[in-house]
Amino acid sequence: MTRTEPALSAFRYLITDMDGVLWRGRDPLPGLVEFFQFLRRHGIRFVCATNNASALPGKLAERLQGWGADVQPEEIVTSSIATADYLADTLPAGARLYVVGMEGLRVPLLQKGFEIAEEHVSAVVAGIDWQLTYEHLKRAVLNIRAGAKFIGTNGDRTFPSSEGIIPGAGAILAA
């Protein structure tokens, strides 16, 4: 931190990525706690942003807090939240959606008033899904071919995990 402190202390606002930047897999990267202490000490407002649609901000904040970092859920923005906001601006209230994704994607969509359904949907929304099956892919394709819009939370082909680089949400979108 010493080399970068003078340059960073001039910042007023900061957006930082999370996966592969603050942690990799289940392990925090070196300097994580000190980084957030520095931001707080210098009054630098920040948002932690992630295009990982698997978890909710509260879970991500708990993870960071478990490592000793002072980060609150309202300081985290996920691609799921951005996707839900986008869809709320572009689809009718209560529209039906088919979702390929996890709780981190489903909950923000439900909070915006969308209905999650299997067929006769306005859009197929896809994010990372660690339990992806052929049935999920088949249902998504059938809905898209029936006229549903196709929205992906992010197109990253790879994802940094503790095991190494693995397929990301972009691999699901490609399928």
- pLDDT values of the chain reduced to their tens digit, one per residue, 175 residues: 456 566 777 889 999 999 889 998 888 999 999 999 999 999 999 999 999 899 999 999 999 999 999 999 999 999 999 999 999 999 999 999 999 999 999 999 999 999 999 999 999 999 999 999 999 999 999 999 999 999 999 999 998 888 889 999 999 999 9
> Any catalytic annotation for residue 89?
no
Q: Could you give the C-alpha distances from 68 to 29, 161, 166, in angstroms and in order?
A: 12, 21, 27
C-alpha span between 161 and 82 (Å, rounded): 23
The answer to whether the beta carbons of residues 80 and 101 sit under 8 Å apart is yes
> Any catalytic annotation for residue 19?
yes
